[in-house]
Structure 1
Amino acid sequence: MSTATVLIVDDEPSNLSLLMHLLRSDYQVRAANSGENALRAAANEPRPDLILLDVMMPEMSGEEVLARLRNNPATLDIPVIFVTALADVDDEERGLELGAADYITKQIKPAVVLARVRTQLEAKQARDWLKDQNAFLEAEVSRRMVENDLTQLVSIRALAHLAETRDPETGNHILRTQNYVRALALRLRQHPRFSTVLDSRTIDLLTKSAPLHDIGKVGIPDSILQKPGSLTPDEWLIMKTHSRLGADAIEQAEIDVEQPVAFFSLAKEIAHWHHEKWDGSGYPDGLKGDAIPLSARLMAVADVFDALISPRVYKPAMSYAKAREIITEGSGSHFDPDIAAAFLEGFAAMTAIADQYQDRGHP
């Protein structure tokens, strides 16, 4: 503790001199002869590690100084030992209640002062060490959480891009649909039907899981997935299995980790049911209305819109205006009407996302 700094506050020069003489062989000692000077000295760098504070001073008492030290974040944690001629037990209790770390009465006994100063400085050193350790641990936890989130994001993107290698014309489809879903969810979070579900965490999970909606396409033969013309009825039956294949793959991942993961649950919903329709005419299970999970209903609008405005081997890209007409026509039949309405109300934001993540070579 030889480098510790002790601030001595007393309006009596003789008391300052006595305490400085007693402590300066072991500590860096500073002095203040009034409450105002003490507050300035305590707030300036280097801040003292301990303050010996006289209680009875003119203009500003030690009790008032202590109260102001405790109200200042810069001096809040500096331990204070009251030094006073008041020897009554009630005075000592009052000082401790106000936040003093200890209480020394005059006449000064050198051994007592040195022992109590050393005890308070050792305690502060331990608190500072613990505070530093906690700050380090918090920073490390935060770093690892960021690293884990990044690893998860990269893994999701890698899987999604793996699916797209089977269907190379989709380009930035996963980025666009991911951002459509996020924008839609944010727009709907205040809607009475969705406000209790679409909290910040759920929206974050939806955004992360959206890229996996077509992961099941890895199980569809190239002859079907990349066919330039119309699919035969038998080929269409095979194509429709991609939703169940994707959901089954994610469910297997759930089983492998042996504990519930909210992200997997939403990803599985989206992969499985994003081709369901509000009127029950979709696939694979013919779900209708609110029986279709909200995550899948959001993705349904995002996925159809992006398919309409993107070129494919079997069709050219559609204009934004025409795609808007089709989304409007599909409200209440293909799409949840409230979700379709939110999409149309925020249509400018959706087209901005489409422009931002457009495929190379596609205007």
Structure 2
Amino acid sequence: MNDSTRPTLLIVDDAPENLFVLSELLQPHYRVLAANNGERGLQVARSAPRPDLILLDVMMPGMNGYQVLQALQADALCANIPVIFLTALASPREEERGLSLGAVDYITKPITPAIVLARVRTQLQAKQARDWLKDQNTALEAEVARRMAENDLTQQVSIRALAHLAETRDPETGKHLARTQGYMALLADLLKGHPRFQHTLSPRCISLLTRSAPMHDIGKVGIPDHILNKPGKLTAPEWAIMQTHARLGSDAIELAEQDIERPLEFLTLAKEIAHWHHEKWDGTGYPDQLAGDAIPVSARLMAIADVFDALISARVYKPAFSFEMARELIAEQRGKHFDPDMTDAFLSHFAAFVAIAMQHRDDQASA
């Protein structure tokens, strides 16, 4: 074993004879560093190569061994270096004190060479095992994080794929998904401290809401083309069919949930959004005519996001409205179509929503 691969020991003792004896004993087996006082010992311990084990005298002028140990433990670079106390104080009380402060072993002077070698070897083996376990845990944590990120990405891609499937049936929506996702994230973040919503809109909930938002219209895959893309006003029977997209979307998600062992939070929110984002605060929406707080928070948020984007976007049945016109129309629906507090947050930060619309604008988005 060459010197660079040997474990490194640091001996801290103010007595030159003790440094000599210990160095002579240990150098055939280890790389040995020495310091003749506590302050110097700390400097050596903090320098490269850092020791794998420290043999530390207790009774020294200046910093004693207990103070050195406390300084080592307070230093992130040295806190994990095991320390064996060396002392002429042989009372059980002193040994108990040293161990209680964090020393891994306690050797009394005068030393017995065989005992010193055995205890040093034992502590180095223990440190090696701890380091190996730490490395394994670090590697395991990295692998878990990698797989979680991979699963997260797969989940997001799957959501977008489903959402785009619905979007292919309604090609005029352009970048509608990205815009509504941005509106949802912003509106939820603005409301997270509001007394009515602070217990619901946690950071995790907002993340899941944002992820689920693109699935709000997946039920449109079940609507016939002649209704979905009709350039004029829908007849009453056609409108009745169009309204079924809300229930079709939530039913599809519920069927998907039946194939998994436990519910996924983002699917629960996606189901809420798909089913109830066309409900109105005053109870005149569809499909269930829910009113007020009976409408899930997720669906109320999407109602504003979806309507705002529909207003500023061209459709087969309407031109794009200006941002100011869209603002006025949403303001008029405060307490009617939309939750009043959500509407207030939207109107108070309207410029931020316009910025999202401009960031993801397409040829149909209003300027």
Q: Which residue of 2 aligns with 1:95?
A: 98
CA distance in 1, matches of 2:48, 2:175: 54
Q: Secondary structure at the match of 2:258?
A: helix
CA distance in 2, matches of 1:66, 1:292: 61
Q: Which residue of 2 aligns with 1:289?
A: 292
Cα distance per residue 1:208-248 (max 9 Å; x no partner): 10100000000111111111111121111111110000000
Pick aligned residue for 1:145 from 144, 148, 153? 148
The answer to whether residue 175 in structure 2 is matched with residue 168 in structure 1 is: no
The answer to whether residue 100 in structure 2 is matched with residue 128 in structure 1 is: no
Q: Secondary structure at the match of 2:56?
A: strand
The answer to whether residue 84 in structure 2 is matched with residue 108 in structure 1 is: no
Written as runs of structure 1 = structure 2, the 5 A alignment for 1:1-363 is 3-360=6-363, 362=365, 363=367
CA distance in 2, matches of 1:75, 1:19: 22
Q: Secondary structure at the match of 2:39?
A: helix
- Structure 2 counterpart of 1:222, one-letter code: D
CA distance in 2, matches of 1:295, 1:43: 54
CA distance in 1, matches of 2:161, 2:363: 19
CA distance in 2, matches of 1:289, 1:118: 72
- Structure 1 counterpart of 2:243, one-letter code: K
1:348 to partner: Cα distance: 0.6
CA distance in 2, matches of 1:131, 1:77: 11
Listed as ranges, the gaps of 5+ residues in structure 2 are: none
1:318 to partner: Cα distance: 0.2
1:312 to partner: Cα distance: 1.1
CA distance in 2, matches of 1:360, 1:145: 37
CA distance in 2, matches of 1:211, 1:35: 63
CA distance in 2, matches of 1:269, 1:228: 29
CA distance in 2, matches of 1:36, 1:54: 13
1:258 to partner: Cα distance: 2.8
CA distance in 1, matches of 2:240, 2:94: 88
CA distance in 2, matches of 1:130, 1:223: 64
- Structure 1 counterpart of 2:353, one-letter code: M
Between 162-171 and 233-242, the greater mean CA deviation after superposition: 233-242
CA distance in 2, matches of 1:346, 1:30: 64
- Structure 2 counterpart of 1:40, one-letter code: Q
What is the percentage of aligned positions where both structures have the same residue? Answer: 67
CA distance in 2, matches of 1:316, 1:361: 9
Cα distance per residue 1:165-200 (max 9 Å; x no partner): 000000110111111111111111111111111111
Q: Secondary structure at the match of 2:63?
A: coil
1:145 to partner: Cα distance: 1.3
CA distance in 1, matches of 2:338, 2:59: 77
Contact 2:280–2:338 (CA under 8 A) maintained in structure 1 = yes
1:149 to partner: Cα distance: 1.1
- Structure 1 counterpart of 2:270, one-letter code: A
CA distance in 1, matches of 2:225, 2:298: 28
CA distance in 1, matches of 2:163, 2:213: 9
Q: Secondary structure at the match of 1:256?
A: coil
- Structure 2 counterpart of 1:96, one-letter code: L
Listed as ranges, the gaps of 5+ residues in structure 1 are: none
Contact 2:273–2:298 (CA under 8 A) maintained in structure 1 = yes
Cα distance per residue 1:20-68 (max 9 Å; x no partner): 1111111111111111110000001110000011111112211111111
CA distance in 2, matches of 1:278, 1:95: 69
CA distance in 1, matches of 2:65, 2:334: 73
1:344 to partner: Cα distance: 0.5
CA distance in 2, matches of 1:110, 1:141: 46
CA distance in 1, matches of 2:289, 2:67: 74
1:99 to partner: Cα distance: 1.2
CA distance in 2, matches of 1:69, 1:252: 59
